[in-house]
Structure 1
Amino acid sequence: MPIDSFSHTFRVRAAPGRLYDHLGDPDSYVGLSPLVIAVRDVRRTAGAVAYVAVERFRLGPLHWDNPIRVTMTFPEPGRRIVSDVRSPGRVHLVATVDLEADGEGTRVTESVTVTCPRLLRRFVIGQARSVQRARARELTRRMEASRTGA
């Protein structure tokens, strides 16, 4: 199966610890990732959080809910979160978020590696890139809106 990797770096006017706490909470991903409409079956263990996120895909009036299994680990507390995502159709995605203090804010780098069948490759990569950019915009909006009290 093909493997694709890409990354995106952006800056948020919020402390790394604040971002880390937000991104380490599965419930934060509802709306943060534009496809995620629900999070359920959250299980916390030492150094990891496993849960099921429900992605909703729409095509006009029709929709399809896709349950994905996510395991978040925290290899560098306060600095790095790794999400291992297993989706139906033999789609496997690993997203690593690195947080680095940058003046009064944080430099965020999200690196994504996707493995999937060739037949799904174009769709999966397109969705993953689109979600990555939307998540960056929404995270920035959330952090900066709460900073100003909006």
Structure 2
Amino acid sequence: MPDTELSHAFTVAAPPADVVAHLAEPANYVGLSPLVVRVRDVAREEGLTRYTAVERFRFFGFLRHDNPIVVTLRISGEQAVHGDVVSPGGVRMGYRFDLEPDGDGTRVTDTLRLHTPPGLLRFAASRARAVQLARAGVLRERLGP
């Protein structure tokens, strides 16, 4: 399967514990990832959270496609939040937010590892990158002073 890795680092004005708490809550991904419009079926177990997020894609400005993705989320103390996404059509993504103190804030390195069936990598990577860049701005707004 074709794959690629995308990484983006940025700083937010909140301590690592606050960033982890925000990223650990599935409901916070609505709007945090601009494509995610709903979260449902949240199941928590020791050490992980599973849920379904609904991504909404728009094509040509009027066609709409809701894409349910299954997410498994794990927390590694105050250093990282990571997980896996399984999407219909064979798209798979591993993601990781590495966190480190940066003055009064937190340096976040957002890394995505994307695997797709042949022919989908360019489209999926362009959408994933747009979400990744937007997410930095949303986190800054949500966790800023």
Q: Give the structure-1-normalised TM-score.
A: 0.94
Give the alignment of 1:10-49 within 5 angstroms: 10-49=10-49
Q: In the TM superposition, what whole-angstrom CA distance separates every residue of 1:1-48 from its partner, at most 9, and x where no partner exists?
A: 112112110011111110100000000000010000000000000000
Alpha-carbon distance between aligned partners in 2 of 1:94 and 1:130, rounded to the nearest angstrom: 16
* Equivalent residue letter for 1:8: H
Alpha-carbon distance between aligned partners in 2 of 1:141 and 1:123, rounded to the nearest angstrom: 28
Alpha-carbon distance between aligned partners in 2 of 1:104 and 1:77, rounded to the nearest angstrom: 18
Name the structure 1 match of 2:82: 82
Query: Following superposition, which runs of at least 4 residues in structure 1 exceed 6 angstroms of deviation?
Result: none
Alpha-carbon distance between aligned partners in 1 of 2:69 and 2:20, rounded to the nearest angstrom: 22
Give the alignment of 1:1-150 within 5 angstroms: 1-59=1-59, 60-74=61-75, 76-144=76-144, 147=145
Q: Give the structure-2-normalised TM-score.
A: 0.97
Unaligned runs of 5+ in 1: none
How many residue pairs get aligned? The number is: 144
Alpha-carbon distance between aligned partners in 2 of 1:17 and 1:79, rounded to the nearest angstrom: 9
Q: Is the 8 A contact 2:3 2:121 kept in 1?
A: no
- Percent of pairs with identical residues: 48
